[in-house]
Structure 1
Amino acid sequence: MASTLWDEYQVSPVEVALPGGKVGLTLRAYRPASELTPTDIADREDDDAIFSGRTGRPMGVADDEELPEFEWTKEALDEVAAGPAEDEVAERAVEADEAEEADEDEDEEAEAVSDEEVPMFLSHKGRLLLFLSAKGLADFVRSGAPHDLKQLEGWSKLAKSVKATDVVAGEDDAYELDLVVENLRGGPDAWDAELVLRAGEFARDVSYALRLKPVMVALSPGSPLDDLDEALRASEEGGLGAFFAKRKLKKIGAEQASIGWRSIIGKISGAVDWRD
């Protein structure tokens, strides 16, 4: 009965284990980006602070460091008065055409992205709502309290139907983030590919849904942790690719991988609102 309910509304219960012995339940759905309004993070601390000082200046720029002011010279004023040269006008026309083409390409890309299915969780104001019990989650859903999934079509009918016995996460929707760091510390020979890859799946989903920029950057294509995922995935697939993947895994530092994941899990944990 429960699976039929979730299948009908295309929403799934999710179970997440985080450091500290806490295991929480939440809900996740995938919908076209064009149909969703992102969670409101206006009241949450700016994630970009991790890339800059508390003042917002780039790292390495002192607060009392003064940047030189621009000064107009007579030559510069004469050039402005004379207007742009003929070749400069032509160059600007070419640049304008290129900019227009770039804008058109961006519009097409944006339209394509808007049709992609993206994750949305039971969250509110940039924080993931995790419940310690199925009853707590079911009671919350039926209460009509504000959260981001209320925008889904048919949500009101789903909310009225949910019971505690329905809130059971399937095997594919259970994530053990509490075990990732310790596993990575053991080195390549001890790494559990399924554990790490599944943690990456959840972390990417929740970082997108909650707009956690540091986590999105840490797991973005080409990043060291994304390379780790690719090597783990290839090693599991077998064949010649698995041989080279295992060699690559041995070159990835266990310390770097564990520290990177500890930071990710810390960011996710910091964005959790525990209920119950």
Structure 2
Amino acid sequence: MARQSSHRPDADEPDTEFDESSRPTDTATESTADAAADPVEDDPDLDDEGAVAEPANRALWEDVRIDPVEIALPSGSGFTLRAYRMSNEVTPTEIGERDDDDPFHARARRDEEEETVVFLDEDFAESLEAEDREEDPRRGRAVRDDDEADDEDLDDQADEADEEDEDEEAEEVAVFLTHRGKLLLFKSRESLVSFVLSGAPHDMTELDTWDDLVARVQPADIAPLDEDSYELDLVVENLRGGHDTWDPKLLIAAGEVARDLAFALRLPSVLDMLSTGNSLDDLDEALRATANGGLGGFMGRRRLKKIGAQTASLGWRTIIGKISAAVDWRD
């Protein structure tokens, strides 16, 4: 016999029949779950205000041959612009009071100081002048005419040699958004674009594609590629950790941007520290060999162990300090 329930509803007990309208819909449940699993603030396609961010216009940067760059320094991170041009197409930034630190100015001053002044006996000097004025009695004026012609030929040859030297010495160099020897760094994309559109003076206005950039750039376009983002603020700490913790990608990228900045900002001491034969250049080459792997990587790791961590970290601390001193932060 089937067992029956002992509970019997009382006549006065209210009817508790389930109302289907109170059941949560599947759509509402799914929406709640989606919102919990996919919060708005973690969506990379949304900006800070929750609006859909426009993708960066990479075609713009390819057309103008200029790129947005992000550089992190101990004092903060900022955006700027960088381009590569031939050295004979651009004018170095004016550094004003830093002329003593400029290799070109120093070399010219050194040449002037080392110039040798020879004092001749007055009688001997007059005899030399007389010989210069003397004419050949048989050829008369022709002597001086030939001499002048020879001088003109020599001048022409010298000019041609100078032009050839300039062509041979031209190389691709980095040009940054600089002004009077200072790197302009902006803490936001909007402030960088506002500066570009403002017409304020800077060294990039000489680029042939600058006007095109001004006409087209938008804040959303200031989106540096991974290879154009540099974390100089982490370099010293990474080097202090010892050989086993050194990050080749971080340090190699730091060396590349430091060389570019040293040339663009006319920091000869930094260029010298990173030049061939110095310990930081040896560090760079060993890191590159390690990153390439294989037998070269094995040899690179052996070379790295010969480089002192303290020496490397102190050297890079000096470099980053000099670069930081040449930065003009803009909000």
Q: What TM-score, normalized to structure 1?
A: 0.77
What's the secondary structure of 1:23's corresponding residue?
strand
Rate the CA distance shift 1:133–1:224 in 2: closer, same or farther, 3 A.
same
Residue 88 (structure 2) aligned to one of 34, 39, 49: 34
Retained in 2: the 8 A contact 1:44–1:125?
no
- 2:252 corresponds in structure 1 to 197
State the 1:112 CA deviation.
Answer: 1.8
Rounded Cα–Cα distance in structure 2 between residues aligned with 1:265 and 1:245 = 25
Greater Rg, structure 1 or structure 2? 2
What's the secondary structure of 2:95's corresponding residue?
coil
Rate the CA distance shift 1:256–1:104 in 2: closer, same or farther, 3 A.
farther
Rate the CA distance shift 1:124–1:227 in 2: closer, same or farther, 3 A.
same
Retained in 2: the 8 A contact 1:29–1:120?
yes
Rate the CA distance shift 1:165–1:247 in 2: closer, same or farther, 3 A.
same
Q: What per-residue deviation string (whole Å, max 9, x for no partner) do you get for residues 140-188 of structure 1?
A: 0000000011001131221122111111111110000000000001111
State the 1:105 CA deviation.
Answer: 7.8
- 2:211 corresponds in structure 1 to 156
Rounded Cα–Cα distance in structure 2 between residues aligned with 1:256 and 1:237 = 24
Higher relative contact order (CA 8 A, sep 6+): 1
Please state if 1:244 is matched with 2:299: yes
Unaligned runs of 5+ in 2: 1-55, 111-116, 129-156
Q: What per-residue deviation string (whole Å, max 9, x for no partner) do you get for residues 109-151 of structure 1?
A: 432222x221100000110000000000000000000001100
What's the secondary structure of 2:77's corresponding residue?
strand
Rate the CA distance shift 1:102–1:251 in 2: closer, same or farther, 3 A.
farther
- 1:110 corresponds in structure 2 to 166
CA RMSD of aligned residues (A): 2.8
- 2:285 corresponds in structure 1 to 230
- 1:219 corresponds in structure 2 to 274
State the 1:104 CA deviation.
Answer: 8.6
Q: How does 1:149-188 map to 2 (within 5 A)?
A: 149-188=204-243
Q: What per-residue deviation string (whole Å, max 9, x for no partner) do you get for residues 175-219 of structure 1?
A: 000000000011111110110000000000011111111111110
- 2:100 corresponds in structure 1 to 46
Residue 263 (structure 2) aligned to one of 194, 208, 211: 208
Rate the CA distance shift 1:242–1:10 in 2: closer, same or farther, 3 A.
same
Q: What TM-score, normalized to structure 2?
A: 0.65
Rate the CA distance shift 1:104–1:255 in 2: closer, same or farther, 3 A.
farther
How many corresponding residue pairs?
Answer: 235
Rate the CA distance shift 1:250–1:134 in 2: closer, same or farther, 3 A.
same
Rounded Cα–Cα distance in structure 1 between residues aligned with 2:221 and 2:102 = 38
Retained in 2: the 8 A contact 1:181–1:258?
yes
Retained in 1: the 8 A contact 2:259–2:274?
yes
- 2:113 corresponds in structure 1 to none
Rounded Cα–Cα distance in structure 2 between residues aligned with 1:242 and 1:156 = 46
State the 1:107 CA deviation.
Answer: 6.0
Please state if 1:135 is matched with 2:194: no
- 2:180 corresponds in structure 1 to 125
Unaligned runs of 5+ in 1: 58-69, 84-100
AA matched with 2:204: L
- 1:25 corresponds in structure 2 to 79
Q: What per-residue deviation string (whole Å, max 9, x for no partner) do you get for residues 206-264 of structure 1?
A: 11111111111110111110010001111111122221211111110000000000000
